[in-house]
Structure 1
């Protein structure tokens, strides 16, 4: 069972992702509402996969991705973005993201993306 850290500033999105993941055999070991919290929880929890929202307060997802990759070059981070953020998604992939999911997301797309990792 893969352990997942969910990072999103919206409580609803974190809960929605948690339900989808747990229903499909993933273990959600934590969540974070901004990039700074994500980095700290990554260090504490050592998840197998991180789902990372891009637009968040205090530190955005791309900055958090970069910092997490400095801590663990093998970190598996999947970015979650709204439509229209394609250039940011490209930047994320160049910074080491393993994939991306577009909001609003469908359960099958989330599971397909995370199962590839």
Structure 2
């Protein structure tokens, strides 16, 4: 990973999940710029406005769910790096997310090693 600041978009309807993940990311690299969204609609808007280097995206959310959000982000930017981070870990959902362009899937409750592996790809 380069020394340049990376933008990371966290999209989860749970404030607690966003706070915990943001804290971990900033401890991992204090130069990260963290952008937060609480639903898929906000996430698409914030992606377009900020062009983040990485997106952590929940599946089950109000307004627009994570799969629809992922599809909209990929329609806007086919090179978007999106990681699904969700408690819904069934194979159908995983296949759908990967088919729609997710680069990885992390099961909630997330663990530091899983997130670190993703960050090493930046």
CA distance in 1, matches of 2:34, 2:89: 30
> CA 1:83–1:95 in structure 2 vs 1: closer, same or farther (change >3 Å)?
closer
Please say if 1:98 is aligned against 2:119.
no
Aligned to 1:20, which of 19, 24, 37?
A: 24
The count of residues paired between Structure 1 and Structure 2 equals: 117
Note if contact 1:18-1:28 (Cα within 8 Å) is conserved in structure 2: no
Deviation at 1:83, TM superposition (A): 4.9
Aligned to 2:85, which of 80, 85, 92?
A: 80
Gapped regions of structure 2 (runs ≥ 5): none
In structure 1, what is the equivalent of residue 13 of structure 2? 9
With normalisation by structure 1, the TM-score equals 0.93
More strand by share: 1
Aligned-residue CA RMSD (Å) = 1.3
CA distance in 2, matches of 1:53, 1:80: 5
With normalisation by structure 2, the TM-score equals 0.89
Please say if 1:116 is aligned against 2:86.
no
Runs of 4+ in 1 over 3 A off after TM superposition: none
Gapped regions of structure 1 (runs ≥ 5): none
> CA 1:31–1:65 in structure 2 vs 1: closer, same or farther (change >3 Å)?
same
Note if contact 2:59-2:65 (Cα within 8 Å) is conserved in structure 1: yes
In structure 2, what is the equivalent of residue 107 of structure 1? 112
